[in-house]
Amino acid sequence: MNKMKIALLVLTLLTCSNAFAKDKFSICWTIYVGWMPWDYGDSSGIVKKWADKYDIEIDVVQINDYIESINQYTAGQFDACTMTNMDALTIPSASFVDSTALIVGDFSNGNDGVVLKDKTSLADIKGQQINLVELSVSHYLLARALETVGMTERDVSVVNTSDADMVAAYTTNDVTSVVTWNPLLSEITAMPKANKVFDSSDIPGEIIDLLVVNTETLKENPKLGKALVGAWYEIMQVMQKDKAALTQMAVASGTDLAGYEAQLATTKMLYTPDSAVEFTESAQLPKTMQYIAEFSFKHGLLGEGAADSSFIGIQTPAGIIGDKKNIQLRFDPTYMKLAAEGKL
């Protein structure tokens, strides 16, 4: 009888330690309209369900500071992180941390914008001081906006302004124009005399929100990719029909359902894996990444070793941009395709 007990105990211990031996991963995200689904996925148990299915553990961590979350990912503290296509290129990839865009979640379709005080036309921006978060997608948006009216950054002067203080900054007399993103953008455009003269819907599909995974980790653990993608598209399905889920995301991002839906209206969510695959495979993506690589090089974001904008290779299904021998950023639709085909 005693022997039986001991054997049982040993068995339990063994299974326990087996449970501990599960591969453990952690991903981080920050509050933004297109990334709120991760919060829902974590709290509703969808992420855990998919992790269990592939016999791994996934820890979902919210980080308050966006740049800090990317830096943490780049330093190796996280296996995956939410970020835009531009930050993926200029932070992890420029640090030679080979990264893969596992999920192409959405692109900004009016979520980022240029606002002028009193003036109504983009051409009036000439000679103005513009407050924005330098070297961010806002800066990129400004550069693209200036191109459309035949100007360059030399025609304006840029003041680096912390995003946390952007709304307060706009209320001061010194500030005549800002470039920023939602929800700050809608706060500012709601103020008197504010005119949105250019926004990301004028350059659709260029500011893309991704879930980026360390390429090496993904190669060694395809399970991680499958679990994350599987979870994501289940959340997407819920999101489209379940108002309660949307409300939960709205509250977590500090607004209400109406406010969150307004933000979603200016965000082109790629709800289905088909649409995401189609977007990733389109010939537009390498063109966009070319623009971004050029902008990043011009601002020294590709590092000192970069001789030109092709220094870092970017792989997309439609072709490789830049140095083929130095690919550090990969748009890989493999896992999204599996989801589309229902093979997860």
Query: How many chain residues are in contact with other proteins, going by CB under 8 A?
Result: 35
Question: Rounded distance, CA 245 to CA 85, Å?
Answer: 27
Two tokens, residue 94: 């420029």
- In the complex, the smallest distance separating the C-beta of residue 44 from other proteins, rounded to whole angstroms, is 33
Binding other proteins (rule: CB under 8 A), the pick from 26, 43, 62, 71 is: 71
- In the complex, the smallest distance separating the C-beta of residue 165 from other proteins, rounded to whole angstroms, is 5
Secondary element (H or E) of residue 100: strand 99-108
Q: Are 239 and 208 in contact (CB under 8 A)?
A: no
- In the complex, the smallest distance separating the C-beta of residue 74 from other proteins, rounded to whole angstroms, is 6
**Which residues within the stretch 76-95 sit at the binding site for other proteins (CB under 8 A)?**
90-91, 94-95
Q: Are 108 and 181 in contact (CB under 8 A)?
A: yes
Q: Which stretch binds other proteins (CB under 8 A): 28-36, 170-178, 206-214, 333-341?
A: 170-178
- In the complex, the smallest distance separating the C-beta of residue 76 from other proteins, rounded to whole angstroms, is 9
- In the complex, the smallest distance separating the C-beta of residue 31 from other proteins, rounded to whole angstroms, is 18
Cα 242 to chain centroid, rounded: 23
**Which residues within the stretch 106-165 sit at the binding site for other proteins (CB under 8 A)?**
131, 134-136, 157-162, 165
Q: Is 30 in the site for other proteins (CB under 8 A)?
A: no
Question: Rounded distance, CA 239 to CA 242, Å?
Answer: 6
Q: Is 304 in the site for other proteins (CB under 8 A)?
A: yes
Two tokens, residue 87: 């930050």
Nearby residues of 317 by Cβ (< 8 Å), 6 or more positions away = 280, 281, 285, 331, 333
- In the complex, the smallest distance separating the C-beta of residue 11 from other proteins, rounded to whole angstroms, is 40
The residue (of 204 and 303) whose beta carbon lies closer to other proteins is 303
**Which residues within the stretch 269-298 sit at the binding site for other proteins (CB under 8 A)?**
298
Binding other proteins (rule: CB under 8 A), the pick from 31, 81, 97, 185 is: 97
**What's the sign of the alpha-carbon dihedral 130, 136, 140, 145?**
negative
Nearby residues of 207 by Cβ (< 8 Å), 6 or more positions away = 84, 85, 86, 107, 108, 111, 112, 137, 140, 141, 200
The residue (of 157 and 240) whose beta carbon lies closer to other proteins is 157
Question: Rounded distance, CA 320 to CA 108, Å?
Answer: 23
- In the complex, the smallest distance separating the C-beta of residue 198 from other proteins, rounded to whole angstroms, is 21
Question: Rounded distance, CA 136 to CA 263, Å?
Answer: 19
The residue (of 77 and 290) whose beta carbon lies closer to other proteins is 77
Note the residues at the interface with other proteins (CB under 8 A): 67, 71, 74-75, 90-91, 94-97, 131, 134-136, 157-162, 165, 168-169, 171-175, 298-301, 303-305
